Structure 1
């Protein structure tokens, strides 16, 4: 199973559609971790599990989404209400409370992937205004099932893989 994860597109509907079109035939799960600044009924968001970010003024987006895909439980949230700038502990507690193996979040505009206590934490970075790198980024994850690695690959908005950032974790 493959998942496409993006965040912090800040009104750029074209990049959402471009990245979706690039991967629509290979991904099974599409995630937007908030700050789309679009309406919940926007057609470009239809294939995505979308959460509300701190600048999403439209009501109708949930604060978090729990999804089952590929035999894994996924927790999707933006992170602003969980203090992701200060500490990952709140994300850890939420994941543990619902039994999530994968946590996807945004807000910081800084890409990250980490494995801790049997859980994978992914921030795809920002497709509008990255803070830690020059490249605008998103992530693709792949998992073949038990006893196989959980692979994370980061891509630029142009679809170029940032191979030096690829990671694999046991899951």
Structure 2
């Protein structure tokens, strides 16, 4: 299974299009907030499952959850924006919550900085920002889960 992951698109439809085109075929797209509705482009133009969550810039009273749990290829994935877990300074609280939830993958955004690491069997992934990166080119991520349950994540730079 191929999973596309993006975050922090901030209304830049061209950036979303570029990430989608660069990703190629994916089975599901996950958007970790800040203009979660930017995935509407994907809905209009691609037959793909999409899961998105709201971020701190998505406003109050929106009809989008701030966190979601998704199962893909037998792996439990938790998606949040990360602003409620202090991810700009540390991912410790996010990691603790992910372990409490007993997920295999925790996806977050907010910092606009791509980051990927393992905490034991838990993958912590921030795809960066497709439109407003900090310190690098715009980025998104692809996660591949093979038939044996192996998880292979990759951060992809848009140049």
- TM-score when normalising by structure 2: 0.86
Q: Does 1:69 align with 2:66?
A: no
**Structure 2 residue aligned with 1:163:** none
Give 1:124's match in structure 2, choosing from 122, 127, 144. Answer: 127
Q: Per-residue CA shift, 1:38-81, capped at 9, x if unaligned?
A: 47xx6325442111111112601111010000110000000001
- 1:153, 1:43 → 2: CA distance? 24
**Structure 2 residue aligned with 1:43:** 40
C-alpha displacement of 1:28: 1.4
Give 2:84's match in structure 1, choosing from 81, 86, 89. Answer: 81
C-alpha displacement of 1:129: 1.4
C-alpha displacement of 1:101: 0.4
What's the Cα RMSD here?
A: 2.0
- 2:95, 2:147 → 1: CA distance? 22
In the TM superposition, 1:10-21 aligns within 5 A as 10-21=10-21
Could you say if the C-alpha distance between residues 20 and 82 of structure 1 is closer, same or farther in structure 2, counting changes exceeding 3 Å?
same
- TM-score when normalising by structure 1: 0.80
- 1:111, 1:50 → 2: CA distance? 18
Which structure 1 residue ranges, 4+ long, deviate > 4 Å from structure 2?
none
**Structure 2 residue aligned with 1:167:** none
- Unaligned 5+ segments in structure 1 are 159-171
Could you say if the C-alpha distance between residues 145 and 95 of structure 1 is closer, same or farther in structure 2, counting changes exceeding 3 Å?
farther
- Unaligned 5+ segments in structure 2 are 44-48
Q: Does 1:30 align with 2:29?
A: yes
Q: Per-residue CA shift, 1:113-139, capped at 9, x if unaligned?
A: 100021001111111111132x11111
Q: Are the counterparts in 2 of residues 9 and 126 from structure 1 also a CA contact under 8 Å?
A: yes
C-alpha displacement of 1:21: 4.2
- 1:137, 1:22 → 2: CA distance? 11
- Matched residues, number: 153
